[in-house]
């Protein structure tokens, strides 16, 4: 199975992904082509809503592949390789006949799908933990992405001689004056905190990858996040 991300939508926090295979190519699945022969729309173009924050790397790949119409491609390519499934012949007798509205059986979950959802849950958990703040010298320092950048800028300003001290507003409206030793300590604490969050995410992602059953994936839980 192959795919391409062909569109991004910032407003909806979503992407459009085109799935295809070596045997069932993009060209074979095209339903709209421009004058230059570029494929504008394909039969297997899927709009996928992303979690916040969006997963990256292997987690993004696993998340996207959970939406891949694998069974559809398998059926399509199996039929292309041989005769149609004769077991469907009985359906000719019920074509167009109204049937009772019974319960609809949804397809069973897959191990790959369970892993993709757990990885997305893990990414969200890590992000919430990352931005939860860290205590330095009795003051709670914010660690959201903007605050991380601000700490870095403050450290650079002092080390480059642009300022000798900085007035810093910690969480809860607590004001502190920071010189080089203090801002260095805060920067080290923030970096250590953020790195620890990503290290935990990596460890849990390895546990998810190693799981061999859906039940094992679902049994993986993450500690409660406080201070967010």
Confidence (pTM): 0.50
Taking all residues of the chain, what is their mean pLDDT, rounded to a whole number? 81
Angle between helix 180-210 and 111-130 (nearest 10): 170
The model's pLDDT over 126-174, given as tens digits with 9 standing for 90+, comes to 888 888 888 888 888 888 888 888 888 888 888 888 888 888 887 777 7
Q: Is the pLDDT of residue 227 over 60?
A: no
The model's pLDDT over 101-135, given as tens digits with 9 standing for 90+, comes to 554 443 446 888 888 888 888 888 888 888 888 88
Report CA dihedral (113, 114, 119, 125) to the nearest 10 degrees. Answer: 140
Residues in Cβ contact with 7 at an 8 Å cutoff, skipping those fewer than 6 apart: 15, 16
Half-sphere exposure of 34 (CA within 13 A, CB side): 4
Please state, in angstroms and rounded to a whole number, the distance separating the CA atoms of residues 158 and 156: 6
Residues in Cβ contact with 212 at an 8 Å cutoff, skipping those fewer than 6 apart: 111
Residues in Cβ contact with 49 at an 8 Å cutoff, skipping those fewer than 6 apart: 12, 13, 14
Phi and psi of 135, rounded to 5°? -95, 125
The model's pLDDT over 190-211, given as tens digits with 9 standing for 90+, comes to 999 989 998 998 999 999 999 9
Structure confidence at residue 93 as a pLDDT band (50, 70, 90):
low
């Amino acid at each position: 199975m192959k795919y391409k991300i062909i569109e991004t939508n910032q407003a909806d926090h979503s992407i459009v992904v085109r799935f295809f295979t070596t045997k069932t190519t993009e060209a074979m699945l095209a339903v709209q082509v421009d004058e230059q022969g570029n494929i504008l729309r394909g039969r297997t173009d899927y709009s996928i809503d992303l979690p916040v924050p969006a997963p990256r790397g292997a987690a993004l790949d696993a998340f996207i592949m959970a939406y891949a119409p694998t069974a559809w491609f398998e059926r399509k390519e199996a039929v292309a390789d041989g005769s149609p499934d004769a077991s469907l012949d009985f359906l000719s007798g019920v074509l167009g006949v109204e049937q009772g509205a019974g319960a609809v059986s949804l397809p069973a979950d897959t191990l790959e799908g369970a892993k993709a959802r757990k990885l997305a849950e893990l990414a969200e958990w890590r992000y919430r933990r990352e931005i939860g703040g860290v205590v330095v010298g009795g003051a709670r320092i914010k660690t959201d992405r903007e605050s991380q950048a601000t700490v870095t800028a403050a450290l650079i300003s002092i080390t480059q001689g642009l300022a000798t001290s900085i007035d810093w507003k910690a969480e809860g409206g607590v004001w502190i004056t920071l010189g080089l030793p203090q801002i260095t300590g805060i920067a080290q604490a923030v970096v250590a905190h953020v790195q620890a969050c990503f290290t935990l995410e990596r460890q849990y992602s390895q546990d998810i990858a190693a799981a061999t059953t859906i039940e094992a994936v679902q049994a993986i839980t993450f500690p409660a996040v406080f201070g967010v």
